[in-house]
Amino acid sequence: MPPPSPRSVLQAVTSRRFLVSAWPWRALAYALTTPLVVASAAVPIGLVTLPWLVLVAQVAGGAAPSWPAALAFFLSGAALTAALGPLIALPLANLERARLRLVADDVPAGGHRQLPRAAPSEWLRARYAEPAAWRELVYAALSVTLVPCLYVATAVLTTGAAVMTVSPALAASGDQVALGFVTVTTPTAAIPYALLGLVLLVTTPYQLAVVTGAHCMLARALLCGPEPEVLRARLVEVTRSRARLVDAFEAERIRIERDLHDGAQARVVSLAMKLGTARMDLPQGSPAAQSVAEAHEQAKELMSELRRFVRGIHPRVLADRGLAPALDELADDAAVPVELTTHLHGHLPAQVEAAAYFAAAEALTNIAKHAHATTATLTARVTDGLLVLETTDDGRGGADPANGSGLAGLADRVAAVEGRMLLSSPVGGPTVIRVEIPCSPSE
């Protein structure tokens, strides 16, 4: 399997194909546009922090003000920064989030709440109350202080490498070449430095990638919301919690089925037997015999309804023998003749079997109620770790989940176990419902 494509310049810099990819050019574009962004941010930031700059300039010039004046300068700078800083930093943050796409493919959105129709006063209160606004202010301050230092250091290193590379030619023209702490006067003495400079020039794309990658990490940390990895981790946890809920729901369903089967159903059976015995002991044609006979018939009807209800909660054959026998029983009891084909071996995970069974039951119920079909087919098979359940009928078609036909509930039931439902139902038929559920045999 090929390695995943790099999603950022820092990931790409470790790739063997880095130099022949687009990433060096993307890093260069990011670096070349950075001075423009820094310059545009420096003016408003400088105006806001002007009292602090004046104070620093006076201290550096040896004319330190008195402590009341220094305190006044400091407090006025703090007040201006707190009052206007978040507003000044907002456009810079929006520009930087857009510019990050030069050096990263997966850029999370900002951490601001969406307030499309808020009044200006409400918008201001919301912005100043958000941590994201103050993180943007911190980034604005770093963008005019720390960030220029990174790029200036890179530019100085690259310029030095270029001078070292051409130092033999410069020395041959009779010039003295200053290479840091060393001065060379002859081409021969400059050759080692030229080789070192050539190596540094070759590594310039990597240096630029590291610097822009570090800048990107700083911007993402302060300007963007949760990383995609964090979101994926949260999604995994949500998926796991949903799976736990499905398991708990299925366990509760089985418990209810057993309680009804072993408790209420057994009592109804006992009641029907006693009424049948009493019916035999009473004189034929007497009012009491007629009443007991009616009660006996009602008890038998209740027993049948309860049996169907218990089977609808969780059929015993599904838990005892697996999905294939349960589908066979379901097809036999269907109101429309069903041709069943199964290619299933052994048990599948309990929640998968339950979801597939009830999906088939819902599909067959819809066929009987809405399709006006005369025949139906039901197939079930496992292919490459995927349980595929498909029902087809020769009815009138036109099935639509939005019409309340139970298809939306069927899709939700399948989605709860990471599956999906596909529907094809042109007007005039046929209707095909295909359910796909990821699974692996449990035994």
Residue predicted with more confidence, 77 or 118: 77
Domain final position from 155, 190, 223: 223
Tell me what the mean pLDDT of segment 298-322 comes to: 67
Domain final position from 263, 296, 313: 313
Residues 211 and 279 in one domain: no
The pLDDT of residue 310: 55
Tell me what the mean pLDDT of segment 299-322 comes to: 67
Instruction: Give phi and psi for 178, each to the nearest 5.
Output: -90, 115
SS3 content of the chain, % helix, strand, coil (to 5): 65, 10, 25
Confidence of residue 29 (pLDDT cuts 50, 70, 90): very high
The two structure tokens encoding residue 412: 């939700």
Residues 257 and 239 in one domain: yes
Residues 202 and 241 in one domain: no
The two structure tokens encoding residue 209: 């990638």
Torsion of CA 354, 355, 358, 363, to 10 degrees: -150
The per-residue DSSP string of 157-171 comes to HHHHHHHHHTHHHHH
Highest mean pLDDT among 69-73, 238-242, 294-298, 391-395: 391-395
Give the tens place of pLDDT for each residue, 38-50: 888 888 888 888 8
Confidence of residue 117 (pLDDT cuts 50, 70, 90): low
Tell me what the mean pLDDT of segment 289-309 comes to: 71
The pLDDT of residue 367: 84
**1 in a structural domain:** no
Burial readout 403-435 (b: 16 or more C-beta within 10 A, e: otherwise): eebbbeebbebbebbbbebeeebeeebbbbbbb
Contact of 198 with 165, CB cutoff 8 Å:
yes
**404 in a structural domain:** yes
The pLDDT of residue 402: 66
Residue predicted with more confidence, 343 or 3: 343
Residues 161 and 295 in one domain: no
The CATH number covering residue 417 comes to 3.30.565.10
Residue predicted with more confidence, 140 or 304: 140
In this model, does residue 114 exceed pLDDT 80? no
The residue to which tokens 């359940």 are assigned? 389
- Number of domains forming the structure of the chain: 3
The two structure tokens encoding residue 409: 């509930």
Query: Which helix (H) or strand (E) covers residue 436, if one does?
Result: strand 431-438
Residues 418 and 362 in one domain: yes
Residues 196 and 341 in one domain: no
Residues 339 and 407 in one domain: yes
The two structure tokens encoding residue 125: 């209160």
Residues 27 and 98 in one domain: yes
The pLDDT of residue 237: 54
Tell me what the mean pLDDT of segment 109-127 comes to: 70
Q: How far is CA 310 from the centre of its chain?
A: 39
**4 in a structural domain:** no
**3 in a structural domain:** no
**429 in a structural domain:** yes
The pLDDT of residue 301: 74
Confidence of residue 2 (pLDDT cuts 50, 70, 90): very low
Contact of 373 with 392, CB cutoff 8 Å:
no
In this model, does residue 442 exceed pLDDT 60? no
Contact of 25 with 207, CB cutoff 8 Å:
no
Alpha carbon distance 218, 143 (integer Å): 10
The pLDDT of residue 302: 72
- Domain region containing 368: 321-438
pTM (2 decimals)?
0.51
Residues 35 and 149 in one domain: yes
In the chain, pLDDT over 70 holds for what percent of residues?
81
In this model, does residue 234 exceed pLDDT 70? no
The pLDDT of residue 230: 45
**139 in a structural domain:** yes
The pLDDT of residue 212: 92
**2 in a structural domain:** no
Alpha carbon distance 440, 443 (integer Å): 9
Give the tens place of pLDDT for each residue, 349-399: 877 888 888 888 888 888 888 878 888 889 988 887 888 888 888 888 887
What Å distances lie between residue 393 and 49, 137, 362, 385, 404, CA to CA?
A: 75, 64, 13, 26, 19
Contact of 364 with 336, CB cutoff 8 Å:
yes
Residues 163 and 214 in one domain: yes
Residues 96 and 20 in one domain: yes
The two structure tokens encoding residue 147: 């960030």
Tell me what the mean pLDDT of segment 121-139 comes to: 82
Domain final position from 223, 244, 261: 223
Tell me what the mean pLDDT of segment 118-145 comes to: 82
Tell the burial category of 5 from Cβ atoms under 10 Å away from its Cβ (0-12, 13-18, 19+): exposed
The residue to which tokens 């069943």 are assigned? 340
What Å distances lie between residue 230 and 227, 233, 277, 299, 438, CA to CA?
A: 5, 5, 69, 59, 25
Alpha carbon distance 304, 301 (integer Å): 5
In the chain, pLDDT over 90 holds for what percent of residues?
6
Confidence of residue 229 (pLDDT cuts 50, 70, 90): very low
Alpha carbon distance 424, 413 (integer Å): 19
Residues 155 and 202 in one domain: yes
Q: How far is CA 325 from the centre of its chain?
A: 38
In this model, does residue 36 exceed pLDDT 50? yes
**Residue 264: half-sphere exposure toward Cβ, Cα within 13 Å:** 13
Give the tens place of pLDDT for each residue, 245-281: 555 555 655 666 565 655 666 676 777 777 777 777 7
Contact of 49 with 165, CB cutoff 8 Å:
no
Alpha carbon distance 217, 147 (integer Å): 12
